[in-house]
Amino acid sequence: MAPDPLAASGPAPRALGPAPGFRLEGVGFAYGDQPVLAGLDLTIGDGEFLCLLGQSGSGKTTLQRLLAGLERPSQGRISWRGAPVTGPGIERGMVFQDYSLYPWMSLAENIGLALERSDPSLSRAGRRERAAEYLDAVGLPGTARKYPHELSGGMRQRAAIARTLALGSPVLLLDEPFGALDPVNRARLQDLLTGIWREAAPRRTVVFVTHDVEEALYLGDRVVVLGSAPGRVIGELAVPFPRPRQRRELFASREFQHLSATLADHYRAQILDAMNPTLAMTGPGEGL
């Protein structure tokens, strides 16, 4: 791995002790009497790229929805830059796994919805122009008049990112955004996302939910591991790799493999813990 002079002092936002962006104190959430999250404490720095790693059922999507303001916590407090999060806001944009776009609107119209909000003074023609610019920026030139069903999954996710960028939010919440993509597209979009994040000044705060250990390590400044039933923080890791990260060299490096194995063990232990009761119940001869 070639040393990067710009990153000599380690990952910059962490080393400088970032101003708190999100602050979560004792956050709990339940659907009915089913606890999903409990006693969750977490601080996310302003400008930090945080990856939330957890198996399904760990409440990582719920946590994401709480940050977005789509749900309200049943216990505890969540604040963004000191102000309590009470609902969705233009400062927090979100990309879902595969359904951020309205299927009956062209890409330009979808992005136009965000522009109407972020820049109400724009004319219709101005919106169309800006939408095309955002599409160019995510590698989708000339697709403004296309509809989501005419695009591949990877292209749809690019357009979803463009829509969220058009909202001008300092926070990007991404909920397994590349989970439904093939490996090639997934890698491309990961690089697109980190590129967009690195280029902006000041940097956006990114909260990226995934269940892929390598994805989390490759993208994040920090990886927070969520345990399940109910979801809570069971571990976290400051990612030591300088940026820009070179995928091939990084994945081949011993340190990456070591960290990835450590995280995976941590993560797998959780999955096994969660499975144990099930295994015990379906012992030989039982149940059938």
Partner 1 sequence: MTGTVRPRRLRFRLPWESALFILALLGLWQGLTTWAKLPNPALFPSPALTFRALLASLPELLKGTRASFLILVPGYAAAVVLGVTWGLLVGTTGWLGRTFFPFARAAAPVPPTVYIPYAIALLPTFRLSAIFVVFLGAFWPIFLNAAAGAAGMPARHRDNARLLGMGRTAYLRRVVFRAALPHIFTGMGVGLGLAFILLTVAELFGASAGLGRFVQYYADFADYPRMVAGILFTGLVTLLAMGLLELVRRRALFWIR
Q: Please state the closest distance from residue 250 (CB atom) to partner 1, in A.
A: 31
When binding is defined by CB under 8 A, the residue of 6, 15, 19, 90 that contacts partner 1 is: 90
Number of residues that bind partner 1 (CB under 8 A): 31
| Per-position x/- string for 50-79, each x denoting binding to partner 1 as judged by CB under 8 A, each - no binding | ------------------x-x---------
Q: Using CA atoms, how far apart are residues 45 and 23, in angstroms rounded to an integer?
A: 9
When binding is defined by CB under 8 A, the residue of 18, 45, 47, 148 that contacts partner 1 is: 148
When binding is defined by CB under 8 A, the residue of 7, 12, 20, 96 that contacts partner 1 is: 96
Q: Which two tokens stand for residue 6?
A: 């710009």
Q: Please state the closest distance from residue 143 (CB atom) to partner 1, in A.
A: 6
Window contacting partner 1 (CB under 8 A); options: 5-13, 88-96, 209-217, 262-270: 88-96
Ordered DSSP codes for the chain: ----GGGTTSSHHHHT-PPEEEEEEEEEEEETTEEEEEEEEEEEETT-EEEEE--TTSSHHHHHHHHHTSS--SEEEEEETTEE--S--TTEEEE-SS--S-TTS-HHHHHHHHHHHH-TT--HHHHHHHHHHHHHHTT-TT-TT--GGGS-HHHHHHHHHHHHHHTT-SEEEEESTTTTS-HHHHHHHHHHHHHHHHHSSSPPEEEEEES-HHHHHHH-SEEEEEETTTBEEEEEEE----SS--HHHHHHSHHHHHHHHHHHHHHHHHHHHHHHHHHHHT-TT---
Window contacting partner 1 (CB under 8 A); options: 8-16, 142-150, 251-259, 260-268: 142-150
When binding is defined by CB under 8 A, the residue of 145, 247, 258, 268 that contacts partner 1 is: 145
Q: Which residues 97-116 are close enough to bind partner 1 by CB under 8 A?
A: 99-100, 102-106, 113-114
Window contacting partner 1 (CB under 8 A); options: 78-86, 122-130, 148-156, 252-260: 148-156
Q: Which residues 151-170 are close enough to bind partner 1 by CB under 8 A?
A: 167
Q: Please state the closest distance from residue 90 (CB atom) to partner 1, in A.
A: 6
93 binds partner 1 (CB under 8 A): yes
Residues binding partner 1 (CB under 8 A): 68, 70, 87-90, 92-94, 96, 99-100, 102-106, 113-114, 117, 140-143, 145-150, 167
